[in-house]
Amino acid sequence: MCAEWNERTVAHMLRRVGFGATQEDIKFYLDMGQTKAIDYIINYDRIDDSEVDRQVASANLDLSKTADLILWWVIRMTFTKRLLQEKMVFFWHDHFATAIFKVKEEDLMLKQNQLFRQFALGNFQEFLLEVSKDPAMIIWLDNFTNKKGQPNENYARELNELFSMGVGNYTENDVKEAARAFTGWSISRRTKEFMFETNQHDFGNKTFLGETGPFNGDDIVRIIAGRQATARFISKKLFEYFVFQNPKDSTIDKLANVYLSNGFSIKALMQAILTSDEFFSEKAFNSIVKSPVEYVVGSLRMLKAKLDTRGKSGDIINSLTAQGQTLFNPPSVSGWDGGIEWINTSTLLNRLNFSNILASNRASRGSTIDPKALIGNAKLSTSKDTVNFFLKQLALYDVDSATNKNLRKYLDSNDDGSKGKFSLTDASIDKKVRGLIHLILSLPDYQLN
């Protein structure tokens, strides 16, 4: 737990468990106190999230179209009050990476997304079993071709390597035997639902991870879920996603024990992570590079942007693609590489292009922000007041004094570069303040979670 519960630590927590923190969010959780705040975030089933459903309904989306499906999820991420649930759905989408470019069925991708939402903090054994029966996953990893006498190893291999235990914790023979266990796990062409084809299933004995029996896929999942290797693999992946890279072995051992002693509960594991000393340590602050989705959605959320659903927000979708992350379309079964890989000459330029368009757009098309509404009744009489206000608005509490000074210098400069004195007027809000927002969104600090 953190030593001091303040705006900075609350903002850090909300960046990790959600997609950015508005000032209203920060005040809400600050006033709640740390213990109650974490309990509230974890037990999100109690939170009324009907406003998101209203936002989605008002957008009048056609979810049989990929662009509208992406926008549907962006709306949920931007406006949800169930912060951790949506962040976990995003995590599982990368973990069980499945892509529309091969599945080719938007309704199946939507169904999978809702599965992730249902089991976001659920029992990992039950979750893994449902993923194994998920039609999008069956198509993605070709398990519909997995037949008795001609096993297809694709799903069995990724189940062991990427979804549960990791390399080094199983043998090639374990993969072959697991594939046999999943023979006949297919989908109905008529209903597009999971279907067990009895005549295509191998009912013979299999030996998997040292256990022998006439195993089905259910048995393989049961064996995997209870392994120490699975406990450590899932604990480490969640810790590195929410806290920082390369944790101590002792930290992961402790979390693995939480997983195993709580019946494979992801909820118990996340509770342990969010209440750990490491989560609020200085090492954790600003240690993770924002993904394009975190960058874009966080900006929309914190700047209270108005999404142009009439134009289906092509600006958002196109920008995410240009930055290297298209929702529902991870590049491979390994998901996105993430980390510093998000930042290169091309993707960084496209981040800055997005921030420029968002900050400067005054048109009736595309996503827009209203700087005057953001300022509201705040008393901002100087460049210093204004810079500090918008740094807080974008949840930046660690910007150094030199950067702060340069931002103030921008506000105090005339159009020709000569020295001036900033004053808050409608004209300066529409020009200088928009420029300031763009500069803050472009800071190296803002690229970090």
* 164 in any annotated domain: yes
Indicate if 88 and 199 belong to the same structural domain. yes
- What residue numbers bound the domain in which 344 lies? 292-369
CB contact at 8 A, 218 and 182: no
Indicate if 301 and 437 belong to the same structural domain. no
Q: Where are the alpha helices (DSSP H) in 206-262?
A: 217-225, 228-242, 249-261
* 233 in any annotated domain: no
Per-residue pLDDT of 267-313, as tens digits, reads 999 999 999 999 999 999 999 999 999 999 999 999 999 998 775 55
Indicate if 310 and 216 belong to the same structural domain. no
Distances (CA, A) of 52 to 65, 291, 312, 394: 20, 23, 17, 22
| Domain end (from 225, 244, 267) | 225
Please state, in angstroms and rounded to a whole number, the distance separating the CA atoms of residues 448 and 289. Answer: 4
Per-residue pLDDT of 138-187, as tens digits, reads 999 999 999 999 999 999 999 999 999 999 999 999 999 999 999 999 99
Could you tell me which residues come within 8 angstroms of residue 195 by beta carbon, excluding any fewer than 6 positions away?
A: 186, 187, 188
Q: What is the DSSP letter of 143?
A: G
Indicate if 313 and 443 belong to the same structural domain. no
Indicate if 74 and 187 belong to the same structural domain. yes
* 155 in any annotated domain: yes
* 180 in any annotated domain: yes
| Domain end (from 334, 369, 404) | 369
For the chain, the average pLDDT equals 96
Indicate if 205 and 344 belong to the same structural domain. no
User: Would you state the pLDDT for residue 362?
Assistant: 93
Please state, in angstroms and rounded to a whole number, the distance separating the CA atoms of residues 398 and 88. Answer: 26
Indicate if 25 and 108 belong to the same structural domain. yes
CB contact at 8 A, 49 and 78: no
Name the percent of the chain lying above pLDDT 90.
Answer: 95
**Total structural domains in the chain?**
3
Predicted TM-score (pTM) of the model is 0.97
Indicate if 340 and 393 belong to the same structural domain. no
CB contact at 8 A, 155 and 146: yes
Burial class (CB in 10 A: 0-12, 13-18, 19+), 173: exposed
Please state, in angstroms and rounded to a whole number, the distance separating the CA atoms of residues 186 and 279. Answer: 41
Indicate if 106 and 206 belong to the same structural domain. yes
Indicate if 436 and 309 belong to the same structural domain. no
Q: How confident is the model at residue 365 (pLDDT cuts 50, 70, 90)?
A: confident
Indicate if 320 and 354 belong to the same structural domain. yes
Mean pLDDT to the nearest integer, 123-140: 98
Indicate if 364 and 382 belong to the same structural domain. no
